[in-house]
């Protein structure tokens, strides 16, 4: 479009005279064609081959040679269409000044070609950096998700182990339930988003699985909403909170409570957890804390500066709240 404008203006603005076309051709179109040749020579070849690899001497020498050839070609075309008078009576600026101005005029397309190429290379570099960052983000999230699965599996095995001697039949049922949960983990969570309804179903099954090894001293309640199938979330995002509650909120001797709620507002999903706090002893390696750390890392990667993660202990109760954007 720039070239169309440059080529059109001289002709449209010229006067309707017998020599108008010859003047436009000689003094506008021929120079523009030559400028175009210099521009694309640098844009397509010289800039990438010599300028950016810092072969500046070669870049300058080639351009000087090209400019000299094109100036002589332009002079030849001008003399061909408008022959010079044979006598030495010539009006106008000195010849050296004309050549000097022509030389400077050829520098303009060279500068523009290099500048445009540099801008394109910069944009391409930024796009590539963003793509690398995106791939790294996906890799980090995948790593965290794979890290969660064995963590979940080990916790479930601990539940089954606790039931084997107490209630073998319940242990069998637990193994069957665990198989269903592992099937979901293996086949349905290897995507960026899953329906929230499936995640809620998974959490309910996990809670029921965890309740099998509890005594009457522990009261477990949960309230999850019915959600539209179109609402999606990253897989296994809230399960760490449930695991943490069953790990640190249960005592065989004392009364304990575990409570989970989830609500959907117009622009966010709010998950709240509350349980009696029974912190593990220093020698108990089962409470490694990988679950909550995993969740924090995932939230930072998935929703940078767009989520809320808070927890506190009040009157012997551990409370946690997570807020994430809805369908972000």
Cβ(209)–Cβ(117) under 8 Å?
A: no
The sign of the dihedral angle between the CA atoms of 200, 203, 208, 214 is negative
Three-class secondary structure of residue 308 per DSSP: strand
Q: Which residue has the higher pLDDT, 137 or 35?
A: 35
Residues 169 and 259 in one domain: yes
Residues 82 and 188 in one domain: no
Q: Which residue has the higher pLDDT, 189 or 108?
A: 108
User: Does residue 130 lie in a domain region?
Assistant: no
Q: Rg (Cα) of the chain, in Å, rounded?
A: 37
Measure the CA–CA gap between 193 and 233, rounded to whole angstroms: 5
Q: 281: which DSSP letter?
A: P
Residues 69 and 160 in one domain: no
pLDDT at 288 over 50: no
Chain-centroid distance of CA 203 in Å reads 30
Q: 85: which DSSP letter?
A: P
Q: Which residue has the higher pLDDT, 189 or 232?
A: 232
Q: What is the SS3 string spanning 205-242?
A: HHHHHHHCCCCCCEEEEEECCCCCCCCEECCCCCHHHH
Measure the CA–CA gap between 195 and 207, rounded to whole angstroms: 19
Domain count, the chain: 2
At 328 the pLDDT is: 64
Is 0.75 surpassed by the pTM of this model? Answer: no
Residues 73 and 187 in one domain: no
User: Does residue 99 lie in a domain region?
Assistant: no
pLDDT band at 275 (very low <50, low <70, confident <90, very high): very high
As a whole-number percent, the residues of the chain with pLDDT over 70 amount to 73
Average pLDDT on 182-205 reads 84
Last residue of a domain, one of 66, 91, 116: 91
User: Does residue 101 lie in a domain region?
Assistant: no
User: Does residue 123 lie in a domain region?
Assistant: no
Average pLDDT on 260-273 reads 92
pLDDT at 55 over 90: no
User: Does residue 133 lie in a domain region?
Assistant: no
Stretch among 43-47, 135-139, 204-208, 213-217 having the lowest mean pLDDT: 135-139
Q: Which residue has the higher pLDDT, 62 or 144?
A: 62
Spell out the alpha helix ranges (H) of the chain. Answer: 2-13, 20-24, 30-41, 56-81, 95-166, 168-187, 196-211, 239-248, 290-302
pLDDT at 278 over 90: no
At residue 78, φ and ψ (nearest 5 deg) are -65, -45
Residues 161 and 247 in one domain: yes
pLDDT band at 261 (very low <50, low <70, confident <90, very high): very high
The winner for highest mean pLDDT among 47-51, 175-179, 287-291 is 47-51
At 212 the pLDDT is: 73
Average pLDDT on 45-50 reads 87
Residues 297 and 167 in one domain: yes
Q: How many Cα atoms sit within 13 Å of 226 on the Cβ side?
A: 0
Residues 184 and 87 in one domain: no
Beta-bridge partner residues of 256: 218
Stretch among 78-87, 222-231, 317-326 having the lowest mean pLDDT: 78-87
Question: Closest Cα to residue 246, out of 283, 271, 272, 277?
Answer: 277
- Provide the angle, in degrees to the nearest 10, between the axes of the packed helices 95-166 and 168-187: 170
Last residue of a domain, one of 76, 91, 106: 91
Cβ atoms within 10 Å, residue 25:
15
Determine the structural domain holding residue 190 and report its residue range.
Answer: 148-325
At 197 the pLDDT is: 92
User: Does residue 98 lie in a domain region?
Assistant: no
pLDDT band at 221 (very low <50, low <70, confident <90, very high): very high
Residues 300 and 165 in one domain: yes
Mean pLDDT of the chain: 78
Residues 171 and 294 in one domain: yes
Residues 181 and 312 in one domain: yes
pLDDT in tens, 145-156: 555 556 566 766
Q: How many Cα atoms sit within 13 Å of 236 on the Cβ side?
A: 31
Stretch among 1-10, 224-233, 262-271, 285-294 having the lowest mean pLDDT: 285-294
What CATH number corresponds to the domain at position 190? 3.30.565.10
Last residue of a domain, one of 56, 76, 91: 91
User: Does residue 246 lie in a domain region?
Assistant: yes
Residues 161 and 73 in one domain: no
pLDDT band at 322 (very low <50, low <70, confident <90, very high): very high
pLDDT in tens, 4-19: 776 676 666 665 555 5
């Amino acid at each position: 479009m720039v070239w169309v404008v440059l080529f059109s203006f001289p002709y449209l603005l010229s006067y309707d005279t017998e020599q108008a076309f010859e003047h436009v051709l000689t003094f506008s179109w021929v120079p523009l064609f030559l400028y175009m040749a210099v521009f694309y020579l640098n844009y397509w070849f010289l800039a990438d081959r010599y300028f950016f690899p810092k072969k500046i001497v070669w870049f300058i020498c080639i351009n000087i040679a090209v400019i000299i050839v094109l100036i002589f070609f332009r002079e030849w075309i001008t003399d061909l269409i408008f022959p010079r008078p044979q006598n030495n009576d010539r009006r106008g600026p000195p010849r050296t000044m004309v050549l000097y101005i022509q030389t400077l005029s050829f520098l303009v397309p060279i500068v523009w070609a290099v500048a445009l190429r540099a801008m394109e290379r910069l944009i391409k570099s930024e796009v590539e950096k963003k793509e690398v960052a995106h791939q790294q983000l996906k890799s980090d999230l995948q790593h965290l998700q794979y890290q969660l699965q064995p963590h979940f599996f080990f916790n479930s095995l601990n539940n089954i182990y606790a039931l084997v001697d107490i209630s073998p039949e319940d242990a069998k049922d637990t193994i069957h339930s665990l198989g269903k949960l592992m099937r979901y983990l293996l086949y349905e969570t290897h995507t960026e988003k899953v329906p929230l309804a499936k995640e809620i179903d998974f959490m309910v099954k996990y809670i029921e699985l965890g309740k099998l090894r509890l005594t009457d001293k522990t009261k477990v309640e949960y309230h999850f909403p019915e959600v539209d199938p179109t609402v999606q979330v990253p897989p296994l995002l809230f399960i760490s909170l449930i695991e943490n509650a069953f790990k640190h909120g249960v005592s065989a001797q004392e009364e304990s409570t575990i409570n989970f709620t989830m609500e959907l507002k117009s622009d966010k999903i709010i998950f709240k957890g509350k349980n009696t706090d029974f912190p593990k002893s220093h020698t108990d390696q089962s409470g490694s804390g990988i679950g909550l750390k995993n969740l924090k890392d995932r939230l930072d990667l998935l929703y940078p500066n767009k989520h809320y993660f808070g927890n506190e202990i009040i009157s012997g109760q551990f409370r946690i709240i997570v807020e994430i954007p809805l369908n972000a």
